Chains A and B, each alone.
Chain A
Amino acid sequence: SQKIEQNSEALNIQEGKTATLTCNYTNYSPAYLQWYRQDPGRGPVFLLLIRENEKEKRKERLKVTFDTTLKQSLFHITASQPADSATYLCALDDSGGYQKVTFGTGTKLQVIP
């Protein structure tokens, strides 16, 4: 069966360190993968998209890698700040780019001052 796995345990890190979140998937062949941020009581907010033929994408303090052989994406936040505390969701499109996007359950990140 198809599965998207994110670390269900909360991730606690010290301010200033790099946070690394993992997204593993099975039985998907995604055209692209996205990362979203969700704060309590709010809808998810888009952060980054990486396509199947891309290895890495960066945006300010954020970096995403995509390894289609390992079926894994890593999401990094460098120089983390307490304001980065949120739940981070990975999402992938397995419909050949038709935007039928399936979300993982998310990882809660807590950045400790």
Chain B
Amino acid sequence: DARVTQTPRHKVTEMGQEVTMRCQPILGHNTVFWYRQTMMQGLELLAYFRNRAPLDDSGMPKDRFSAEMPDATLATLKIQPSEPRDSAVYFCASGRRTDLEAFFGQGTRLTVV
């Protein structure tokens, strides 16, 4: 059963610390998305990649967030330094250019104290 895998599922960290979230997209999917979900803002697109190249990261605060795809099986989202306002659920999703639907992982629940 193919699925998007995200680690860790939960992360509690202190303000100022670096946070790295990882995502393994479904094999064969060439598009990877990072979303953030909060009660106030809903699901916001932070960045997305096609064939490992960044297509758009305009939703991401550039001074502290970075997203990369070191290879086709791994996407990372880093926050450095983290702040309490970064507390949210971060979702990774993957898909194919041809059929347009996105498959979401279970999310990483981040709490910055």
Could you list which residues of chain A lie within 8 angstroms of chain B, going by C-beta atoms? Answer: 32, 34, 41-46, 49, 89, 91, 93, 95, 97-106
Contact = CB atoms under 8 A, between A and B. Distances in A.
Interface in B32-65: 33, 35, 42-45, 48, 50, 55-56
Given A45-B104, A49-B100, A100 B43 contact: no
Range class of the B interface residue count: 20 to 34
A49 B45 CA distance: 19
B105 interface: yes
B45 A101 contact: yes
B95 A99 contact: yes
Given A89-B43, A100-B48, A43 B107 contact: yes
Nearest to A95: B56
B104 A49 contact: no
B24 to A, nearest CB: 14
Contacts of A98: 55
Contacts of B35: 103
B76 interface: no
B69 interface: no
Contacts of B102: 44, 46, 99, 101
Contacts of A93: 100
Nearest to A51: B100
A99 B100 contact: yes
A102 B55 contact: no
Contact of B103 (A32, A46, A95): A46
Contacts of B55: 98, 100
A89 B45 CA distance: 14
Closest 5 CB pairs of A and B: A43-B104, A103-B43, A105-B42, A46-B101, A44-B104
Contacts of B91: 43-44
Contacts of B93: 43
Given A43-B105, A45-B104, A101-B102, A106 B42 contact: yes
B89 to A, nearest CB: 9
Interface string B16-43: 0000000000000001010100000011
